[in-house]
A = this chain, B = another copy of it.
Amino acid sequence: MGISSSQVRQDFFSFGGNGLQGYGYDVEYLHQEIRSILGLDTAHSMIIIGAGSLGHALAKHTNFAKSGFNITAIFDIKSELLGEKINDLEIRHLDSLPEFVSKNRVDIATLTVPENCAGEVAKFVIELGIKALWNFSPVEIITPEDVLIENIHIIDSLIVLGYNLKEIQT
């Protein structure tokens, strides 16, 4: 992965030594330690808002659960989608989100909504007290200080690729 041994040791060092000088690391213990630091051994409850093709793709993805991120509900506003099931999860109307939040713990809200309503939906979700947003829309969403946001701006990555390609092709 192009990471130097120095950096690996420095990084481990900052979380406290995990190895034995002159001997090496207990890989299994270290692995568990890193999982614990990253929070991969704790369960997270996650909802998906927006059951378009990207929402569907994420809902069908089984890898998230393996890392402790459990999808607990899917919401949309299109009435023709309501009731449809994805991996045992029924698509619910966004109007029922407040009730869902009051009855269920929601750690993370995934936003796979069209860009023209991403801001509005984010606001709605934040007002319900959800503290972490996983945003797939290309919009820059401003959140209060106590609300986290992680953006997956897919096109940015494609633009980087295109830029580097330009350099290579000349």
User: What is the interface of chain A, defined by CB distance below 8 A to chain B?
Assistant: 1, 37-40, 42, 44, 52-54, 56-58, 60-61, 63-64, 67-69, 107-108, 131-132, 134, 138, 140, 146, 148, 150-152, 154-155, 157-166, 168-169
Judging by beta carbons under 8 Å apart, are B131 and A168 in contact? yes
Cα(A107)–Cα(B155), bound, Å: 16
Cβ–Cβ contact A67 & B155, under 8 A: yes
- Determine the distance from Cα of A42 to Cα of B152 in the docked complex, in whole angstroms: 24
Please report the C-alpha to C-alpha distance between residue A107 and residue B108 in the assembled complex, in whole angstroms: 36
What is the chain B residue whose CB lies nearest that of A37?
Answer: B163
The reply to whether A150 and B157 form a contact with Cβ atoms under 8 Å apart is yes
Whether B164 pairs with A148 at a CB distance below 8 angstroms is yes
A39 cross-chain contacts in B, Cβ below 8 A: 159, 162-163, 165-166
Q: Is the CB of B158 within 8 A of A67?
A: yes
Q: List 12 A-B contacts (CB under 8 A).
A: A39-B166, A40-B159, A42-B162, A44-B162, A52-B57, A107-B165, A108-B158, A132-B164, A150-B158, A150-B160, A152-B152, A152-B154
Given contacts A131-B168, A134-B161, contact A57 B53 (CB under 8 A): yes
